[in-house]
Structure 1
Amino acid sequence: MNLPRIIEAFFDADTRNDPDALVAAFSRNGSVTDEGVVHQGSDAVRIWWRAAKDKYHHVAVPVEVASAGDKLRVRATVTGRFPGSPAVLNYTFTIANGEIAGLEIG
């Protein structure tokens, strides 16, 4: 699978449980929308990621990628401590200037 370097950096940081590397993949004002809640800015993204890891102990493995305009959708198998694990989720990234400007998970 051919993922852009910044998307590879996101999933690699997530797998390695490295919040600094994960936040570094986002623009300063980047956002994550997960479970219907928007987390905007570096501090909010870090807090969201740590809370999700603490709650679900999840690992996401990309299995498919598709692009549409300025969006890149990655389907990933997510395994963790949650009902229905493993689940396939869509990670829809918006990339701007080589950074993640937005991420929607659903």
Structure 2
Amino acid sequence: MKLPENIAGFIQAQNEADSTAFANYFTEQAIVSDEDSSYTGRSEIKQWIEEAIEKYKMQSKVIDFKQTGSKGTLIVEASGDFPGSPGVMHYHMEFDGELIRSLRITG
């Protein structure tokens, strides 16, 4: 599947545990919602992904990506150190240009 560069880079940064590169795919005031918590801004998002990478050692394989206007849904098969691995996760995204303005993760 041919992904937009920003989505391919986002997944690559996550899989390579590069929290700085990962956070740079978000706007300065982006919001991430995951596991009943929210994180605002690149600094909090960077800290969140560092902790998630350390805790879950997750790797993601893209199943599908669809974008309509400024909204997109990324579906991945996630594997790692968590119950039910591997599992399917849905990343509900809103974009500001190429950057992610909001991300809500559901599984």
TM-score, normalising length: structure 2:
0.92
- C-alpha separation between the residues in 2 aligned to 1:94 and 1:66? 12
Residue equivalent to 1:62:
62
**Deviation at 1:69?**
4.3
- C-alpha separation between the residues in 1 aligned to 2:87 and 2:78? 5
Cα deviation digits, residues 10-45 of structure 1 (max 9, x gap): 101011111111111111111111012110101110
Moved more, 2-11 or 64-73: 64-73
Alignment-mate amino acid for residue 95 of structure 2: I
Residue equivalent to 2:53:
53
Residue equivalent to 2:15:
15
Which ranges in structure 1 are unaligned for 5 or more consecutive residues?
Answer: none
Residue equivalent to 1:95:
95
Cα deviation digits, residues 73-106 of structure 1 (max 9, x gap): 0110000001100000001111112211111110
Moved more, 15-24 or 77-86: 15-24
TM-score, normalising length: structure 1:
0.93
Q: Percent identity?
A: 28
| Equivalenced residues, count | 106
- C-alpha separation between the residues in 1 aligned to 2:3 and 2:101? 16
- C-alpha separation between the residues in 1 aligned to 2:31 and 2:61? 21
Alignment-mate amino acid for residue 58 of structure 1: M
Helix, strand or coil: the match of 1:20?
helix
Which ranges in structure 2 are unaligned for 5 or more consecutive residues?
Answer: none
Alignment-mate amino acid for residue 77 of structure 1: E
